[in-house]
Amino acid sequence: MTVYNDVIEIDNNGNDHQDSNRITPMQEVDLALKECGIGWFHVLLLTSSIIGLIAGILVTNTTPYIIPIAECDLNMSLIQKGLLNAMPYIGMTMVSILVGFLTDTFGRKIFLVSGFCGLFLFAVVGGSSQSYKVLVMAKFFEGILLAMSFGPNLTMTSEFCYKEIRDRVILFRSSFKAVAQIIVAAMSWGILSHDWNLILFNEYINLHIWNIYLYLMSIWSLLSFVLYLVLPESPKFYITQNKFTEAKHVIFKIYTMNTGKPAETFTYFNLWKNKENEIIDQEPKTKVETFKQQLLTGLNNVKPMFKKTLVSYLVLISAMNFLSLGFYNIIRLWFPQLSTIVEHYSNFNGDNNLCDLLDTYIHNLNTKRVNTTLSEVCVPTRSGDETYINSMILGCVCIIPFALSGILVNKVGKKNLFIAGGLICIGVTLSIRWANSKFAVVALFSVDVAVLQTLTGLYQASTVELFPTRMRTLAIAVIMTLGRIGTLMGNVAFPILLNMGCVVPFYSLTSVMISK
């Protein structure tokens, strides 16, 4: 079993002592990555990370767009819509922490490749679904597979970047959540506006336009799977496993791709040469670790997480992410549905506001579900052009805070950005229920989602900064699990509160942000 500490030297008397003047292998990786610079490898890395991010976001973002058009095909109530939105988060919540631990123990790449491959397969299953139950179960397993790939995606991206650029790279990557919203809205507009219908196997399978839409969206997962097959494992993970030769080869590959020069010209060409010789000398005495021994090693390596300082950071960031991510996903996932309602029921005047429209819609929906049992034809409330345009506007607005925070994060500090973002969200959320025009609804929702999305990116950057490599993915998994539990609870509670009256969920969300 191997325990990884700082660099240890042996003095002349054979006693161990820690040399405070020497840097650790992790710091040497940072120096080597800095020497490699930024180039084509990082283009490939960020392309893979961003496409993977988009593929992951599609797991939850496609559902709000198919709900209006599929509500009659699947005979969904308001509660069932909320459950369908929440189903991926149930899957993610169940396995995130376990996957985080296993990723820190067995590597990032294996979970990225298998996660995106599985995500593609279950996206196809979801696209083939003929009933609400099959679609719900497909979304559940997509959530499990997304948990396998989300944490390693963020961790692997950060571990190929040296310290000085890491925060900005993570915020840049996170900004593509907004780009993903624009892409999803544009693709949804281009596909769901048609009335395609495909009948197969003597009407045994009836593929509606929303089924075809899910098939086409699965392509992003397939692309992610292929790209991560090409990328190497993280050199920092190799260091935690004492695999210095493999780590060096990865760094040489980065250097060669970025500069176009042969590895022999690299400043740190003899990096860890002594370490490699030590490992070769020790190899005859070393046994290959069994799966059980690897698990025990992994457990031993995460023990420092439970020290007082790191636990306090973990609890604080988890609590803030629980509230912010839950809040963000409620607003984000319900926006297309609410925008469709505004588009079809829009009768804004001096006396009407958003809550008047929502209360009217809920009454009509409940009446419609009763009438379908009396053989009346259910007619879905299809999203029009305005809904898709509004979603693209929302995505564009979301890019602005990321650009600003990327500039301000090193000057103002994360804490001040957290406070400012929280205050903005409180004011905007309280104002949503009073919105009395389409412009006001889109503007307020856009600002809310943009600020909350930026806050979640800052939480992830803080986690990467505060937690060391051997427990980083696990820390991200714990924090994201709490955030997903918040999302799960919020998406189940939101339609229930909405049934009680429109003002209830918006005042409840404002109270949540105040407590944060």
CATH (domain of 221): 1.20.1250.20
Residue 294: predicted pLDDT: 56
Question: In the predicted model, is pLDDT for residue 4 greater than 70?
Answer: no
In a domain, 267, yes or no: no
In a domain, 10, yes or no: no
R_g over Cα of the chain: 25
Residue 377: predicted pLDDT: 60
Overall average pLDDT of the 7-11 stretch: 34
Total structural domains within the chain = 1
Return the closest-CA partner of residue 509 out of 313, 293, 332.
332
Residue 3: predicted pLDDT: 37
In a domain, 152, yes or no: yes
DSSP annotation of 413 reads: -
Buried b (16+ CB within 10 A) or exposed e, 167-188: bbbbbbbbbbbbbbbbbbbebb
In a domain, 186, yes or no: yes
**Who's near 329: CB < 8 A, 6+ residues apart?**
60, 89, 486, 487, 490, 491
List pLDDT tens digits, range 144-159.
999 888 778 888 888 8
pTM: 0.72
In a domain, 234, yes or no: yes
Question: In the predicted model, is pLDDT for residue 369 greater than 70?
Answer: no
| DSSP-assigned states of every residue in 334-384 | HHHHHHHHHHHH----TT--HHHHHHHHHHHHHHHHHHHTTTPPP------
In a domain, 274, yes or no: no
**Who's near 138: CB < 8 A, 6+ residues apart?**
122, 123, 125, 126, 129
Residue 329: predicted pLDDT: 82
In a domain, 258, yes or no: no
Confidence of residue 8 (pLDDT cuts 50, 70, 90): very low
In a domain, 250, yes or no: no
410 to 3, 211, 414: CA distances (angstroms): 34, 45, 8
Residue 9: predicted pLDDT: 34
Return mean pLDDT, the chain: 78
Q: How far apart are CA 143 and CA 87, in angstroms?
A: 7
Least confident of 25-29, 111-115, 244-248, 349-353: 349-353
Percent of the chain, pLDDT > 90?
10
Domain region containing 215 = 25-241+301-515
Handedness of CA 93, 147, 242, 7 (dihedral sign): negative
Question: In the predicted model, is pLDDT for residue 225 greater than 90?
Answer: yes
**Who's near 509: CB < 8 A, 6+ residues apart?**
327, 330, 331, 429
Angle made by CA atoms 212, 213, 219, in degrees to the nearest 5: 100
Question: In the predicted model, is pLDDT for residue 269 greater than 80?
Answer: no
List pLDDT tens digits, range 418-437.
888 888 888 888 888 788 88
Tell me the backbone φ, ψ of residue 176, rounded to 5 degrees: -75, -5
